[in-house]
Structure 1
Amino acid sequence: MRLMTCTILLASVLPLSASAGIFDDDEARKAILDLRAKVDAVSTKLDNKLDTKADKSSALELANQIEQLRGEIAKLRGQIEVLTNDLANTQRRQQDFYVDLDNRVRKLEPKKMTIDGKEATVDIGEQRAYDAALSLFKAADYKNATAAFTAFNVNYPQSAYAGSAQYWLGNSWYAQRDCKNTISSLQQLVKNYPDHPKAPDAMLNIASCQLELKDKPGSKKTLETVIAQYPETDAAQAAKSRLAATK
């Protein structure tokens, strides 16, 4: 009877060791150790019963107690299965969290892109600042656009968008009919970024402002410079037409 009972107990406990192997979480491992301790206590209790009942109790009573202990072991195994499932769900949620976090971090990383025909690296804050300023200009909020483009060039002086920001800053002043600031801003664009795609158009706006300020000689000279420096552009053709109209 003792050999049979120990065999049953051993068969019930062995799967617990196999299940415990998948627990990497500290709390889950501690819970399993607690359950093992309970199983050991049941085993000790069973041994004690076997020692005493062998001398003075009936086999039927002993069998009932063995069944009761086997039920306790089955209950403990069920608790381990629940813990195993909970741990698997937790690990899956953690994996999903790290994947989502990685995707968020990637969105914050600098991006390589082509700006005004040149390859450049732009970080998320820089991109948002430029887009916000340009949105203000497109919404005809020229006063705030002026402030936004000015701030952009202060905060991101080495940005690949710096030339475009300077151009739109000049246009923001021009939309407010502030020719002095228009000329100053666009002249800075032409000086610092002579190869910028918007440089020829900037010079046309400079010429327009000079004419509005009654500086006809300055306006004529600017138009001639457009033709000389950017002969193959639409701006050069427009400059020729304006010169012809002033004769």
Structure 2
Amino acid sequence: MAGLLTRVSLCVAVLAAQPVRAGLFDDDEARRQIKDLTIKTNERLDTVAKGQIELANQIQALRDENSRLRGEVETLTYELDAARKRQQDFYVDLDGRLRKLEPLTAAAGSDPKPAADEGRAPADPPKKASSDPAAEAREYEAALNLFRANKLKEAAAAFETFARAHPDSSLTPNAYYWLGNAQYSLRDCKKAIDAHRVVASKWPANSRAPEALLNIATCQQELADVKGAKATLEAVVAKYPDSAAAATAKQRLKK
């Protein structure tokens, strides 16, 4: 009887121990899966964090590059404005010097007064509309001062008004020349070409003519008219071989 009770007790103990072992095994598997999931999650978080850091670095690099480029643009803009101002000052100084030489050139090239036929009274010279050289000079200087002050639109309008009001003035070729320069500074090459062509065609012997042709060639190049620019530069060299404009044209034709 005692042996039977012992065997029954052992069976009960074995049966009671099996669920415990199964529970232990289930907990270990769950812990392993949780650990694996934690490792994978951490790896993904590390990857995302690294990506965010790289993206932040790229954004900062782009900001730095943008700041650098902005600084270069501002510097170039300042240098361009300064160069235009120096060019305008040079033009104004050159204009003053040429205007001093023009009366001497006109006097040297003037034709002598023809002698009257014997026995006949000299014919009266054709009457010309009265003009006030001093007033013309003031108008011209006012337009030139606008150009000097970099008021390009106002200067262009003033030079055009002067040229139309005084078509026969000795200052009219200069007015058209400066009108072309003002239009070029306003980045309107077509109008600049029109103004300079008036100088070159209507006053080919004027000291402004070779420079006007050279400016036309510059505008043609900016308008991608390579053939036209080449022809204009060749015309400068052919028509005005001893001018400073011809020397510049030769250098540009070599490029």
Give the TM-score of the pair, scaled to structure 2: 0.50
- Aligned partner of 1:56 in structure 2 is none
User: Which residue among 188, 202, 222 is the counterpart of 2:198?
Assistant: 188
The structure-2 alpha-carbon separation of the partners of 1:122 and 1:229, relative to structure 1 and needing over 3 Å to count, comes to farther
Deviation at 1:177, TM superposition (A): 1.1
Q: Which of 1 and 2 has greater Rg?
A: 2
User: Which residue among 223, 227, 231 is the counterpart of 1:217?
Assistant: 227
- Aligned partner of 2:153 in structure 1 is 143
Q: Which runs of 5+ in 1 are unaligned?
A: 1-112
Cα distance in 2 between the residues matched to 1:114 and 1:199: 15
- Aligned partner of 1:118 in structure 2 is 106
Counterparts of 1:15-26 in structure 2, within 5 Å, are none
Deviation at 1:180, TM superposition (A): 0.3
For these two proteins, the number of residue pairs brought into alignment is: 133
State the percentage of identical aligned residues: 43
Deviation at 1:138, TM superposition (A): 1.1
- Aligned partner of 1:129 in structure 2 is 139
The residue type paired with residue 190 of structure 1 is: A
- Aligned partner of 1:206 in structure 2 is 216
Higher mean C-alpha displacement, 174-183 vs 113-122:
113-122
Return the structure number with greater strand share: 1
Deviation at 1:127, TM superposition (A): 1.4
- Aligned partner of 2:22 in structure 1 is none
Cα distance in 2 between the residues matched to 1:135 and 1:198: 19
- Aligned partner of 1:170 in structure 2 is 180
